[in-house]
């Protein structure tokens, strides 16, 4: 179990914890101050009340002391039975002798020696008081009273119980209120964090802005973030403009160079020796790869700009596959791979954009060749309900679950091992092309045992002029 660290807690938990702890501590301190105040005040009140009771009994016992009437004095002390907190009482004459006395039945039968000065004290869980009895300003005796502190103890227990109950209720209420209010603070911040994560993963829409609902620090964060996204969008637009312009400028000359190389390979410029043919063959492969890279950059730029359009028409599976595989005879032969076609010639009609479906399929075949060193690549056509499916399966290096979880995004190159080249845009483009054709692309793979990509688009229903 890791060590608890406040700095590692989520912000919403921090805010809730701070609110609950601060309110609970404040309430606890208030209750403790109240209890402390009562613990200091109540003993003084008890002494005062006991002194007042002693004054009343003393005033009523002056005649009994003056006339040496112990029976009357005893009857006066016996009235203390009505007060359950009085433990004992004793009336002394001027000589310090016990004149009358009283003890609660469960209290010790003990009366201390007379103390001539007025005195009160807490001792052994009881309150004791000595008070002179006066008649006409002259002292005629002394009264002793002792009371238990049960009332004070019960009162302090009540205060403690109330403090605990109020503390628990306050904690629950503050927890409920804090958990609700923290959403107003953490909610906007969470939106900023989510948007930043999306942008960092390349999935964020830079045209969207956060809604600023306040003028506090959180509102300032949202404003600053919107400004940052605006500048980032400007940089992204400049990048797309640059890619688009450069790609357009490069596409034509690269295509012409590839054409010249093909003419030379065909012998239109004269007989070639074996070494020249080898060099031109390598140049042709590089030229085709560069042309494909330029095409991918243009397609990705159009996707990012949102200007990609589709022309959905009936198209045969046979035609799509035939156009997709026609340029891969040499790359397959160079790596010693075989290309197997299953169900292609019997494949039905699809309702799709032919050129974009061909480009998507070419991306999958191209990746399969790059990631396969031996074995075969299989292009398989089949149907699944209302969808026409084209599978591209290889016997290559395969992928683990973590790698498959990051597919179909920009800047992801399949197979990071040596000689796995590419811009990492093919699957990103394919995913978007399939989405615009009301289709989808899925993948299954096992590390070291190959990969199978599946393109699915709606089937065309003959005779009704539309998709199934």
Q: Are 15 and 174 in contact (CB under 8 A)?
A: no
What ranges do the domains of the chain cover?
6-156, 207-308, 310-467
pLDDT, tens digit only, all 468 positions of the chain: 455 576 666 766 777 777 777 777 777 787 778 778 777 777 788 888 888 888 898 889 898 888 888 899 899 888 989 888 888 999 998 888 989 999 898 887 777 888 888 888 877 678 888 989 988 888 889 999 988 888 777 877 887 888 788 878 877 887 787 777 777 767 777 777 777 777 766 666 666 776 767 677 767 777 787 787 777 777 666 666 666 666 656 767 777 887 888 888 888 888 888 888 888 888 887 887 777 677 766 666 666 666 677 889 999 999 999 999 988 888 888 889 999 999 887 768 999 999 889 989 988 998 899 889 999 999 999 988 889 999 999 999 888 887 777 777 765 444 443 334 444 577 888 888 888 899 999 999 988 889 999 999 999 876 555 555
Its CATH architecture, for the domain 6-156, is 2-Layer Sandwich (3.30)
Quote the pLDDT of residue 341.
92
Q: Using CB atoms within 10 A of its CB, is residue 453 exposed (0-12), middle (13-18) or buried (19+)?
A: buried
Q: What is the pTM of this model?
A: 0.49
Domain 207-308: give its CATH code: 1.10.287.130
Quote the pLDDT of residue 466.
53
Q: Are 61 and 124 in contact (CB under 8 A)?
A: no
Quote the pLDDT of residue 1.
45
Domain 310-467: give its CATH code: 3.30.565.10
Q: Are 127 and 46 in contact (CB under 8 A)?
A: yes
């Amino acid at each position: 179990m890791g060590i608890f660290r406040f700095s590692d807690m989520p912000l919403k938990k921090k805010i809730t914890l701070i609110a609950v702890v601060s309110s609970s501590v404040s309430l606890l301190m208030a209750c403790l101050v109240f209890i402390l105040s009562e613990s200091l005040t109540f003993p003084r009140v008890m002494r005062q009340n006991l002194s007042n009771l002693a004054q009343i009994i003393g005033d009523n016992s002056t005649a009994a002391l003056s006339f040496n009437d112990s029976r009357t004095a005893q009857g006066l002390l016996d009235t203390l039975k009505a007060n359950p907190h009085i433990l004992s009482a004793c009336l002394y004459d001027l000589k310090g002798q016990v004149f009358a006395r009283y003890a609660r039945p469960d209290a010790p039968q003990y009366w201390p020696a007379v103390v001539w000065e007025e005195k009160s004290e807490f001792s052994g869980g009881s309150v004791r008081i000595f008070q002179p009895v006066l008649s006409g300003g002259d002292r005629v005796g002394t009264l002793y009273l002792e009371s238990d502190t049960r009332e004070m103890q019960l009162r302090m227990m009540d205060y403690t119980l109330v403090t605990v109950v109020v503390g628990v209720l306050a904690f629950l209420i503050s927890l409920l209120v804090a958990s609700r209010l923290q959403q107003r603070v953490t909610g906007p911040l969470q939106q900023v964090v989510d948007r930043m994560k999306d942008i960092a993963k390349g999935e964020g829409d830079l045209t969207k802005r956060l809604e600023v609902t306040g003028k506090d620090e959180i509102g300032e964060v949202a404003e600053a973030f919107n400004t940052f996204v605006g500048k980032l969008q400007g940089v992204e637009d400049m990048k797309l403009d640059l890619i688009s312009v450069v790609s357009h400028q490069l596409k034509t000359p690269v295509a012409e160079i590839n054409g010249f190389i093909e003419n030379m390979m065909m012998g239109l410029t004269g007989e070639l020796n074996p070494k020249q043919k080898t060099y031109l063959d390598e140049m042709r492969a590089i030229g085709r790869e560069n042309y494909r890279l330029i095409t991918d950059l243009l397609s990705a730029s159009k996707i990012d700009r949102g200007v990609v359009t589709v022309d959905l028409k009936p198209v045969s599976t046979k035609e799509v596959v035939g156009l997709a595989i026609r340029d891969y005879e040499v790359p397959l032969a160079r790596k010693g791979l075989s290309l197997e076609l299953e169900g292609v010639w019997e494949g039905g009609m699809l309702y799709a954009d032919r050129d974009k479906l061909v480009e998507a399929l070419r991306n999958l075949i191209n990746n399969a060749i790059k990631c396969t060193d031996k074995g075969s690549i299989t292009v398989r056509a089949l149907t699944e309900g209302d969808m026409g499916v084209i599978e591209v399966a290889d016997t290559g290096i395969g992928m683990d679950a973590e790698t498959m979880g990051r597919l179909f995004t920009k800047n992801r190159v399949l197979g990071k091992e040596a000689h796995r080249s590419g811009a990492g845009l093919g699957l990103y483009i394919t995913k978007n092309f399939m989405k615009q054709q009301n289709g989808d692309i899925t993948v299954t793979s096992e590390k070291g045992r190959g990969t199978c990509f599946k393109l699915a688009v709606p089937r065309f229903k003959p005779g009704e002029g539309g998709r199934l």
